[in-house]
Amino acid sequence: MFSYLGFDLKNNLFVAPMAGITDRPFRMLCKEFGAGLAVSEMVTSNSLLYGSEKTLRRANHFGESEPIVVQIAGANPQMLADAANYNIQNGAQIIDINMGCPAKKICNVLAGSALLQNENLVAEICQTVVKSVPKNIPITLKCRLGWDLQNQNIKTIAKIAEDAGIAAIAIHGRTRSQQYSGEASYDLIAEVKQQISIPVIANGDITEAQKAKFVLDYTKADALMIGRACQGKPWIFAEISHYLQTGEFLPPPSAEQIKQIALKHMQEICDFYGEIKGVRIARKHIAWYTKGLKNSAQFRTSMNKIETLQEQQKFVADFFDSCGN
């Protein structure tokens, strides 16, 4: 068990928030494979969008295991505070503020990792959101090392956050300008861990069990956050957890096992979104499940033309059956 902000989790392996990916079906799947906590994809702080279908769906955590963590994004302190309370009223138990997203459309409105350029605004946002929510609701922060390699101010940001009452901070080991290029750096994450007393979660390039152990040992972080490495591989949480506990590797899943995981995931996506939208959303997950397998590129080209769940599932099943075990 891992104690985190008043919650008892099965471990210290977290699913990173990823726009368009960490919806409820995917969060629940990762938790089934051993993730201790999963953060929702971003929910906008723009109050005009609270009633939109997309926002209501993103804030839907029905049936999930606790804690329910919702990430909010924006640049206006009061709007972020209002968004935090809106999501708390809809069941959120932890609110995470996004200061890490490198996407242009987020940074162009000075949200996400663009906020790291304005330390005064970071302080105002943290203070305003923390003071506006009930005292039993932890506010956490997700950010990067800084805006670019010349402005890696994460140590200052972390201290500002701690002083403002932020309960934990997750740090991706890249700057905004790096996007996802190059390799994540863990040196500053280790320095932040030495500097502050709130939990620090390390994120970036944690792609397999040995790397997870290295990052934990090197940074002394309290937890790990895994993003792109769990796309098409939700069982990575089971692999890492097993290795951290035993020092031994789990055998990789067979083609038959991956097939069953994919089919179940596709069904849950369609149950959640409806079949027409669900079939289209499932395509990217199917592409990840099949990546690197023989004839997968040709398979994906044909699969992307299918419009019904029944056909899609048959196509996927036939492909995996042709792969053998």
Cβ-contact 227, 203 below 8 angstroms: yes
Comparing CA positions, the residue from 295, 284, 213, 290 lying closest to residue 255 is 290
Orientation angle between helical segments 309-323 and 296-303, nearest 10 degrees: 170
Q: For residues 13 and 238, what is the distance between their CA atoms, to the nearest angstrom?
A: 10
3-state secondary structure of 274: coil
- Exactly one of 101, 107, 126, 230 is catalytic; name it: 101
Q: Is 270 a catalytic residue?
A: no
Task: Give the DSSP H or E segment for 144.
Answer: strand 139-144
Return the DSSP state at 1.
Answer: -
Residue carrying the six token digits 């971003």: 42
CA 164, CA 77: separation in Å to the nearest integer?
Answer: 13
Per DSSP, the three-state class of 291 is coil
Three-class SS of residue 5?
Answer: coil
Are 15 and 22 in contact by the 8 Å Cβ rule? The answer is yes
- Report residue 130 as tokens: 């923390």
Please name which of 185, 191, 155, 158 lies closest in space to residue 173, comparing C-alpha atoms: 185
69 φ, ψ to 5°?
Answer: -115, 120
Asked if 73 contacts 101 with a C-beta cutoff of 8 angstroms, the reply is: yes
Is the omega angle on the peptide bond into residue 67 within 30 degrees of 0, that is, cis? Answer: yes
The rounded Cα 12 to chain-centroid distance in angstroms is 14
Active-site positions?
101
